[in-house]
C-alpha cells in the first residue's frame, strides 16, 4: 500500500520491543497488522494503515498495558515522523 | 609545546603496507615526529570532514557506515543545539571473540587512535573525548591511560578533554546506544532508537561514536591525505583494513590488507590454504560462513561478500579446519550469541534461546530444519539492536554451507567431524551491566 499523497498522510504502528512484555492484546485487537511469534511476542507489519483500519490500530495502541505501541504519523514531504496523542502519552510516562 | 598546524595538504608517502601497523613503538616522541599535535577547536573544523569524506573511509567496527557522513551529521547539529557541544566516543569494546585488532591498536599504537579521536573532535567541534575500553582488556586500558597521561604531561592542551572509561564486558555493550546509555549512568544495554547518538547522546549532546580502527585511519587520512588513503582498496571501499585471522592458519593474528584483497590471498598470507579448510567464517561470530568455493571466488569487500549473505564486519576471519563439524561450530556460536542477549526484547530472549537449543537438537539428530528456519524468520529484525539478526544470519549461512553435514545429522548418519569442538567460545561469566 502506497503512502497517500495529501495533507494527512499515513500511519504506521510502531513497537518498542524493550517495553513490550508480550501480553498479546494488540494482536487480538489488530490482527490486520499484528501477529504473535511462537513465544507470544508481537510481530508488527509496518505497512501504512489506512483510514478504515485506523480505529482498530488506535484501540490496539490504547489497550497495551505497558504502552509499548504507538501510532506514527508520517507527514507529507518532509519525511518527519510525528506521533499521535498515544505516543505523547508514552513519552510522558517515561 | 606549540601546536603544529594540521596538514591537510597530503604529504607524499609511498603506498606501502603496513600503514596502521607500521609504527608500534607506542611512544609519544617518536609518534610526534610523524604526526602533528591535533588542534583545539571551538567550532567544527570543516576541512577535516571534507578530507574524510573524500577518502571514502567506512567504519571498521562492523556496520561500515561512511565516516565522513557521520562526522558531518554531528557537526551540523552543532549550531542548532546551543550549549550542547558534541562529544566523541571511541568505541574500543571489541566484543567479537574472533577479533583482536582494536585491542592491538589500543595497546601498541594508542597515539594514532588518540590523534584520530582528537581530530574527529575538532571536526565536529567537540570538547570531550571518551575512550571506552573493555574493562577486562587490561593491556589496552593501561596503554591508553599511559598515552593520555603522556600527552597531558607534555603539555598538549587537546589531551585535557580526553578521558578513559572501562566498560562492562558484554557483546552488546559495544552497540553505540548501549555505550551512550552506560556513559549516562545506565546499564550497558542497547536502547530504542531514535534518538540515535548523533541526535542525542552523552548528556543529551550530539555524540559521534567511532570504532578504534576507524579513528586510526582518520588520523592517517588527515596527515597523508585522502588520495594517499585511496591508493589501496577499491573505489567503493577504499583503504586498508585490519583482519584478525584465526583457525587453521600458521600465523594467527592481526594482518593489514587492502580492502578488496582476495580472501584466498589473505588466508595464504596467514599461512593457511583453502584446500586445507572446510569453510571460512567471515566477520567473526557475528558474521557468516562461506564455503571454500565461495571463499575462493570472493574478495574481502562488501561488494563481493554481500551477495553471499556475508560482509566485512569487523574483519575477523576464521578458517575452519577439515576435521571440524561446521554444524557443531554453528550450534556453539549461536549458543554464545543467545547468551549475549541483554534480556530486554522478548523475541531475542526466547527466539535466540530457541534457535540455540534447536541447533543443538539438530546436531543431536532432530529433523527440525524447517522449524529452525521458521523461527529464524520470526526473530529477524525484531530486536532493539542487531543481535537477533546476527544470530539468524550466522545460523542460515551454517545450514546452507554445511548442508551435507546437516543432512547426515538429521537423518541419523552421525557426525563426520573428528576434531570435536574447535572454535574458542568465551566462558560464560557473571558480569555486571553497570
Which chain A residues have a beta carbon less than 8 Å from that of B191? 18
Provide the Cα torsion B57, B62, B65, B71; round to 10°: -70
Does the beta-carbon distance from B347 to A37 stay under 8 Å? yes
Domain assignment of residue A68, yes or no: yes
Range of the domain at A60: 10-93
Tell whether A65 is within 8 A of chain B (Cβ): no
In this complex, how many residue pairs, one in chain A and one in chain B, have their CB atoms less than 8 Å apart? 45
| For testing contact with chain B, the best of A14, A15, A18 (most B CBs within 10 A) | A18
Which chain B residues have a beta carbon less than 8 Å from that of A43? 347, 378, 382
Does the beta-carbon distance from A37 to B344 stay under 8 Å? no
Which residues, at least 6 apart from B315, have a Cβ–Cβ distance to it below 8 Å? Answer: B60, B99, B101, B241, B242, B243, B244, B283
Interface confidence (ipTM) of the complex:
0.87
Domain assignment of residue A46, yes or no: yes
Per-residue pLDDT of chain B (434 residues), as tens digits, is: 333 434 444 444 445 688 999 888 789 999 999 999 998 887 888 899 999 999 999 999 999 999 999 999 999 887 655 678 999 999 999 999 999 999 999 999 999 999 999 999 999 999 899 999 999 999 999 999 999 999 999 999 999 999 999 999 999 999 999 999 999 999 999 999 889 999 999 999 999 999 999 999 999 999 999 999 999 999 999 999 999 999 999 999 999 999 999 999 999 999 999 999 999 999 999 999 999 999 999 999 999 999 999 999 999 999 999 999 999 999 999 999 999 999 999 999 999 999 999 999 999 999 999 999 999 999 999 999 999 999 999 999 999 999 999 999 999 999 999 888 999 999 877 899 99
Q: Identify which of A16, A18, A39 has the shortest CB distance to residue B351.
A: A39
Spell out the domains of chain B, with CATH numbers in brackets.
28-229 (3.40.50.11540), 240-320 (3.10.20.600), 326-410 (1.20.1440.230)
Q: What CATH number corresponds to the domain at position A62?
A: 3.30.70.20
Q: Identify which of A16, A38, A39 has the shortest CB distance to residue B192.
A: A16
Domain assignment of residue A4, yes or no: no
Which chain A residues have a beta carbon less than 8 Å from that of B175? none
Q: A14-54, pLDDT tens digit by residue?
A: 999 999 999 999 999 999 999 999 999 999 998 999 889 99
What is the sign of the dihedral through the CA atoms of B94, B96, B97 and B100? negative
Strand partners for B87: B128, B207
Considering the entire predicted model, what is its pTM?
A: 0.91
Maximum CA extent, chain A: 39
**Count of the separate structural domains present in chain A:** 1
Domain assignment of residue A80, yes or no: yes
Write down the residue that cell numbers 563426520 correspond to. B416
Domain assignment of residue A2, yes or no: no
Helices (H), A1-94: 25-29, 54-63, 85-93
Residues of B with CB under 8 A from a CB of A: 191-192, 344-348, 350-351, 354, 375, 378-379, 382-384
Amino acid at each position: 500500500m502506497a503512502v497517500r499523497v495529501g495533507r494527512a498522510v499515513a500511519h504506521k504502528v510502531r513497537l518498542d520491543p524493550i517495553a513490550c512484555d508480550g501480553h498479546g492484546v494488540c494482536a487480538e485487537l489488530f490482527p490486520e497488522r499484528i501477529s504473535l511469534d511462537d513465544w507470544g511476542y508481537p510481530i508488527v507489519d509496518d505497512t501504512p494503515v489506512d483510514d478504515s483500519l485506523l480505529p482498530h490500530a488506535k484501540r490496539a495502541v490504547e489497550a497495551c498495558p505497558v504502552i509499548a505501541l504507538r501510532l506514527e504519523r508520517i507527514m507529507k514531504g518532509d519525511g518527519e515522523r510525528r506521533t499521535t496523542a498515544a505516543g505523547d502519552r508514552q513519552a510522558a510516562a517515561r | 609545546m606549540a601546536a603544529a598546524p594540521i596538514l591537510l595538504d597530503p604529504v607524499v608517502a609511498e603506498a606501502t603496507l603496513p600503514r596502521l601497523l607500521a609504527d608500534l613503538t607506542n611512544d609519544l616522541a617518536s609518534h610526534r615526529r610523524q604526526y602533528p599535535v591535533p588542534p583545539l577547536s571551538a567550532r567544527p573544523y570543516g576541512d577535516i570532514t571534507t578530507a574524510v569524506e573524500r577518502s571514502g573511509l567506512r567504519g571498521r567496527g562492523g556496520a561500515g557506515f561512511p565516516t565522513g557522513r557521520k562526522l558531518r551529521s554531528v557537526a551540523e547539529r552543532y549550531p542548532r543545539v546551543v550549549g550542547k557541544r558534541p562529544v566523541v566516543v571511541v568505541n574500543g569494546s571489541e566484543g567479537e571473540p574472533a577479533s583482536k585488532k582494536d585491542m592491538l591498536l589500543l595497546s601498541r599504537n594508542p597515539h594514532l587512535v588518540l590523534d584520530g579521536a582528537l581530530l574527529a573532535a575538532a571536526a565536529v567541534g567537540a570538547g570531550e573525548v571518551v575512550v571506552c575500553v573493555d574493562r577486562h582488556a587490561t593491556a589496552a586500558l593501561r596503554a591508553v591511560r599511559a598515552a593520555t597521561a603522556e600527552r597531558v604531561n607534555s603539555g598538549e592542551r587537546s589531551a585535557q578533554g580526553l578521558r578513559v572509561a572501562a566498560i562492562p564486558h558484554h557483546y552488546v555493550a559495544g552497540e553505540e546506544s548501549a555505550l551512550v546509555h552506560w556513559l549516562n549512568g545506565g546499564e550497558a544495554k542497547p536502547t530504542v532508537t531514535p534518538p540515535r547518538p548523533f541526535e542525542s547522546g552523552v548528556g543529551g549532546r550530539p555524540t559521534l561514536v567511532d570504532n578504534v580502527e576507524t579513528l586510526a585511519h582518520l588520523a592517517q587520512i588527515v596527515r597523508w591525505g585522502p588520495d594517499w588513503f585511496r591508493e589501496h582498496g577499491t573505489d567503493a571501499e577504499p583503504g586498508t583494513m585490519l583482519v584478525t585471522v584465526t583457525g587453521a592458519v600458521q600465523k594467527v593474528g592481526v594482518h593489514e590488507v587492502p580492502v578488496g584483497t582476495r580472501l584466498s590471498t589473505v588466508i595464504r598470507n596467514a599461512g593457511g590454504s583453502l584446500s586445507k579448510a572446510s569453510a571460512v567464517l567471515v566477520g567473526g561470530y557475528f558474521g557468516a560462513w562461506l564455503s571454500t568455493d565461495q571463499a575462493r571466488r570472493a574478495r574481502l569487500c562488501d561488494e563481493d561478500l554481500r551477495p553471499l549473505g556475508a560482509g566485512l564486519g569487523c574483519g575477523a576471519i576464521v578458517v575452519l579446519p577439515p576435521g571440524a563439524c561446521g554444524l557443531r561450530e554453528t550450534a556453539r556460536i549461536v549458543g554464545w550469541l543467545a547468551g549475549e542477549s541483554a534480556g530486554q526484547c522478548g523475541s531475542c530472549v526466547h527466539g535466540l534461546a530457541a534457535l540455540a537449543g534447536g541447533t543443538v537438537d539438530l546436531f543431536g539428530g532432530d529433523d527440525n530444519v524447517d522449524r529452525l528456519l521458521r523461527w529464524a524468520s520470526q526473530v529477524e529484525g525484531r530486536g532493539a539492536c542487531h543481535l537477533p539478526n546476527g544470530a539468524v544470519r550466522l545460523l542460515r549461512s551454517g545450514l546452507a554451507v554445511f548442508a551435507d553435514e546437516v543432512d547426515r545429522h538429521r537423518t541419523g548418519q552421525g557426525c563426520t567431524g573428528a576434531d570435536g569442538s574447535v572454535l574458542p567460545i568465551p566462558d560464560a561469566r557473571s558480569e555486571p551491566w553497570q
